[in-house]
Chains A and B, each alone.
Chain A
Amino acid sequence: MQAYRSLIAAALSLASCTVFAETTLTVYTALEADQLQAYQQKFEQENPDVKLRWVRDSTGIITAKLLAEKARPQADVVMGVAASSLLLLQKEGMLQPYAPKNVQKLSRQYVDTAATPSWVGMDVWGAAICFNTVEAAKQGLAKPESWKDLLKPQYKGKIVMPNPASSGTGYFDVTAWLTLFGEKQGWSFMDKLHQNIAQYTHSGSKPCKQAAAGEFPIGISFEYRAAKLKEGGAPIDVIFPKEGLGWDLEATAIMKGSKNLAAACKLADWSASQSANELYEKNFAIVAMPGIAKPSPLIPADYEKRLVKQDLHWSAQNRERILAEWTKRYDAKSEAK
């Protein structure tokens, strides 16, 4: 496919006798693998002189990698990485402020508040529970409706959730519980939940995939993966716990010191454009550009109201402390990374 496409590109450039000064951008991302292709295709179609080279991993890994490379950044652009992580990079002075062409058309709350923003939101992704109905019937498990329901003894060893140190989804679950229940009650909630957790996974998608496969009947994950798997025929119910949902923004930023600044700006522009937002809309219920999102049968209409009132700056500032505490308490059950 890749080769085919570059062949066409080569043929086209021969036919029109123009030689593009082609730039390859290195883009670090935590987007899902099955989202990347559509984004890349659309962007490269609109910007034929720029090629994207993705470095993909879970949020925590990408964040650690970016911080470790601070002295010699390898990435030109960070796209689709949690805003709470980008805030950390911003604090370290690693982001290049830039106002993309369309930025005034985006909801203010999803863009960095500085006059020239350092990062620009793309969409909101939020918590969801995947609940395997076939396995639940077999094992006699009641359907949980709230986070607190998950503490019931019947779910012992039946729940998987992502490790917050490596997964952005896992991290906003933890910050949401700390916000909802308060610091002390939040940790005591997690202590009890820990008793029921079978595994902490590396990625935020895996719990839902495991629930879909029946390996573990309950997976704490996020709504895109849940909807995708349900559409694919997996026997799962998607649950939005009633206390409220953790969430974060997927956002784009340019790395300071990028040698391909012009091309990086093109990607930042595209990321805030209408055509990009139309693609985000296919995957998420809330996107940065108002008026684009359409209702989805799997996502409740009042979805935005169900999100926890959460301060991303607080999440960023307390990231290291919260993760250290979490690791100290629960890491023995965690999958590698």
Chain B
Amino acid sequence: MPILRRSRRLAASVDETLAGVLQWLLLAVLVVAVLLPLSAILGKALTDGDGQFAGFMQISKTLSQPGLLRAISGSLQVAVLSTLLVVPLAYGYAAALCRVQLPMRGLFRLLALLPLLAPSLLPGISLVYLFGNQGLLKEWLPGGSIYGLTGIVLGEAFYTFPHALMILLTALAVGDARLYEAAGTLGAGRVRQFLTITLPGSRYGVVSAALLVFTLTVTDFGVPKIIGGAFPVLAVEAYKQVIGQQNFAQGAVIGLLLLLPAVLSFMLDQRLQRRQQAQLSAKSQPLQALRGWPARLLALAFCSLIGAGLLLMMGTAIAAAFIRQWPYQMTFTLAHFNFDQVDGGGWLAFGNSLRMALATAVVGSSLAFLGAWSSCKLPAARLGSNLLHAIAMLPMAVPGLVLGLGYIFFFNSNANPLHGLYGSMAMLVLCTVAHYTTTAHMTARTALTQLDPDFEPVAASLKVPLWLTLWRVTLPACLPAILEISRYFFVSAMTTVSAVIFLYTPDTVLAAVAVLNMDDAGDTAAAAAMATLIVASAAVVCLLFALLSHALLRQHQRWHQPAAH
């Protein structure tokens, strides 16, 4: 009997050692996938063409080019205008969803999240068909050309809207009804209440959303690539240097420039979030949504307008994919889906994208969940946990374009033993997992911290191995979160262009990259067709996941409900 007990104790400690090893392994993966490529960029920016250390020579050389200053100011203009356009619209939309009894609330929510299913190239394509010289609504844009600032800002607005909305929904979801009651008693009107309670209460959300829109816009190159025309922006400049002129050192310097706003806004945002937490107290009363018909009507009109705009942008590219020859032969055709005669890799690219997205979903959610689990549930390994968490948070501040550049410099070096991965599907998957790891990590952590922290100690005291607790308790309890993470990885991998644009080969070409190359060659209809395929597959996968998660919730999550006595 004592012998048995001893061996069990030993097993437990072996468990913990193994878990520690796992943690360091995960850490190693993150270092290779995130840290080393990023340092490679810095190295590249500080060396000359032959790899000799050149100090700040390369940086000052790049900065002194007149084109670059124009691109910087162009990017700033685009980002400021997009932020000013998107944040108020998203705020209004979020307020209508959260604070008003809106009819068809679920539908409007879904509508606003639609842009997430599309690569950022899609709004560009739609804008050409809507406001281009042969555009359906060309008259709405008197005198101006859609190619340039106007087009970029409109496209970025579409692309960033759901991102801003999600933050503002969270910010506006909670509120203290007592404040409004008090204000009402004191005679404050609706406008005054909004200005003195609602707006200040959600100010962190507003800043957060603004920072996100700003960063997404500065670092996105899909929209300006398609619709930018003559207008210079930084992200496209980086792409031009690297792909067009194979000037990697200058690309690296521009990459560092792009990193700047992203890192700054990330740091600012982190500080704000810490302050935000203490807003609600236990005494707060839940808000009642506004029921008066003027508010409901106004909200409905506003949301319908925005929703229609989003639907129009989404629908135009999809419709164009089925039209024989815009604007001369407006008849239905499937011919544009026969990609044999155009650039871009066609169905191979689409198949590759599906495979890549699937692999990213599986690998990404395993890594993210295990990483979050080991950083939450292994109290013994403090150092590893903290490091893991810190590195997992980093990619949020790294634009895809910059990460992609880092991958070229890191993996395409002869000195790197992992050189063999260069250009392979495995590297594309690794890069995409790294790119989107932060959100996944945070989702997994949230789910894990919601579980009772006593599970592990209790299980350990009952001599249940750590792995068994993970398998029997933690994993099933977190299943909805894991599904959510997989879906997020899949959809992101289907739609991303920014990181992978530098990394594909003819064998591993991806659908979103094909959209870009088709548009480049002037095959806009084929580009629209490929973008349609991306949207359709992302939508189908979202639907599948929603059904799966619904079924799982009903089957396995009974414990969430209060126990029946």
Binding site for B on A (CB under 8 A): 1-2, 33-34, 37, 53-56, 60-61, 64-65, 67-68, 72, 134, 157, 165-166, 198-199, 201-203, 205-210, 213-216, 233-235, 331-337
Contacts and interface: CB of A to CB of B under 8 A. Distances in A.
Contacts of B248: 68
B336 interface: no
B134 A333 contact: no
Contacts of A208: 522
Nearest to B248: A68
9 contacts: A2-B348, A60-B244, A65-B246, A198-B229, A209-B522, A333-B229, A335-B228, A335-B520, A337-B520
B132 A332 contact: no
Given A61-B244, A199-B229, A33 B520 contact: no
Given A209-B522, A213-B327, A332-B70, 11 more contacts: A56-B343, A61-B243, A134-B328, A165-B245, A205-B522, A207-B522, A209-B524, A214-B327, A234-B325, A335-B228, A336-B240
A215 B244 contact: no
B244 A214 contact: no
Interface in B469-528: 505-507, 520-524
A58 to B, nearest CB: 8
Q: Is the interface of A mostly helix, strand, loop or mixed?
A: mixed
Q: Which of B132, B134, B521 is the most central at the interface, judged by chain A CB atoms within 10 Å of its CB? A: B521
Contact of B520 (A60, A67, A203, A215): A203
Given A203-B521, A206-B522, A210-B522, A67 B340 contact: no
Contact of B229 (A68, A205, A335, A337): A335
A209 to B, nearest CB: 3
A331 B65 CA distance: 13
Contacts of B309: none
Contacts of B239: 336-337
A203 B341 CA distance: 16
Contacts of B340: 1, 37
Interface of B: 67, 70, 128, 132-134, 145, 147, 221, 224-225, 228-230, 232, 236, 239-240, 243-246, 248, 325-329, 340-344, 348, 414, 505-507, 520-524
A68 B230 CA distance: 27
A97 to B, nearest CB: 25
A216 B133 contact: yes
B244 A336 contact: yes
Contacts, number: 101
Contacts of B328: 134, 214, 234-235
Nearest to A210: B522
A336 B524 contact: no
Contacts of A34: 341-342
A1 B339 CA distance: 11
B506 A215 contact: no
A254 B385 CA distance: 54
B144 to A, nearest CB: 12
A33 B521 contact: yes
B343 A331 contact: no
A199 B244 contact: no
Given A165-B244, A332-B230, A213 B524 contact: yes
A53 B243 CA distance: 20
Nearest to B518: A33
Contacts of B507: 53
B275 to A, nearest CB: 40
B126 to A, nearest CB: 14
Given A53-B506, A202-B520, A213-B524, A337 B240 contact: yes
A167 to B, nearest CB: 10
Contacts of B523: 209
A112 to B, nearest CB: 25
A170 B86 CA distance: 39
Contacts of A198: 145, 147, 229
Given A134-B328, A235-B328, A214 B133 contact: yes
A333 B230 CA distance: 4
B133 A215 contact: yes
Nearest to A202: B520
Nearest to A335: B229
A1 B348 CA distance: 10
A83 to B, nearest CB: 21
Contacts of B240: 336-337
A195 to B, nearest CB: 13
B352 to A, nearest CB: 13
Nearest to B135: A215
Contacts of A213: 134, 325-327, 524
B105 to A, nearest CB: 40
B128 A33 contact: no
A54 B236 CA distance: 25
Given A166-B244, A214-B327, A337-B239, A199 B520 contact: no
A201 B522 contact: yes
A74 B255 CA distance: 25
A333 B134 CA distance: 20
Contacts of A134: 328
B230 A199 contact: yes
